[in-house]
Amino acid sequence: MDVRFPAPLSPGDVVGVTSPSSGVADALAARLEFALETVRSAGFEARVGRCMDGERHISASARERADELQDMLLDPAVRAIVPPWGGETAIDLIGLLDWDAIGRAEPTWVVGYSDISTIITPLTLLTGWASIHGQNLMDTPYRSPAGLTDWLRIVQMPPGETFTQTSWADPVM
C-alpha cells in the first residue's frame, strides 16, 4: 500500500476540532479559545465539533465521538483534524469507524499525540493516509522545542518539501 499524503492546507481551509477522548472543561474555555485563535491567525477556519464536553471523563458517547470523527474525515471541506488533547478512550472508536469508506475518501491531515495515536496508527495502516504525530490543539499556541517542526507548518508544506526533526534531547546546533 502506498502512503497517500493529504494536500497542503491553504488560507481559508477548515481545521476540524473534535475530542475522540477527553473534552475541554468550561474552566479551560479561555485556553481553548486562545488555541483556536492561533489556528485562525494562521489563516484557517476552525470548526469545533459537538464532542467537546470536558466535564466528564469522555467528551461524548463512543458512537457520537466515532460519528463526529468519521463525518470530519469524510467531509471534503475539512482539510485537517486536531483534538484538543488526548485522554484514554479513543480505543473505543476503532471498531465503530468505517475504515473502507475512510480509505476511499480524499486524505485529511489528522494531527496529535497521546491518545490520538490510537487513531492515527490504524488510519495509516488501514487506509494508507499519512498523519502527523505532533502537538494537540491545546499545545499549538506554544513554541515547539528546538528540532521539532510545528504541525501548522507541516500541513502547509508543498509536496516534495522535506524537513528534519530531531530529539529535543539532541537539539540541532
Q: Measured between alpha carbons, how far is 168 from 105 in angstroms, rounded to an integer?
A: 35
Q: 23: buried, middle or exposed (CB in 10 Å: 19+, 13-18, 0-12)?
A: buried
Residue 4 in domain:
no
Residue 163 in domain:
no
Residue listed under C-alpha cell 515547539: 144
Comparing CA positions, the residue from 86, 71, 101, 79 lying closest to residue 151 is 79
Kindly give the confidence (pLDDT) of every residue in the chain, 173 residues in length, as a single tens digit, with 9 standing for 90 and above: 799 999 999 999 999 999 999 999 999 999 999 999 999 999 999 999 999 999 998 999 999 999 999 999 999 999 999 999 998 999 999 999 999 999 999 999 999 999 999 999 999 999 999 999 989 999 998 888 788 889 999 999 999 999 888 876 655 54
Model confidence, pTM = 0.92
* Count of structural domains within the chain: 1
Asked if 21 and 88 count as a contact pair (C-beta separation under 8 A), the reply is yes
Residue range of the domain that includes 120: 14-154
The enclosing domain of 105 has a CATH number of 3.40.50.10740
Please name the helix (run of DSSP H) or strand (run of DSSP E) that holds residue 99, with its range, or none: helix 99-104
Residue-level pLDDT at 171: 52
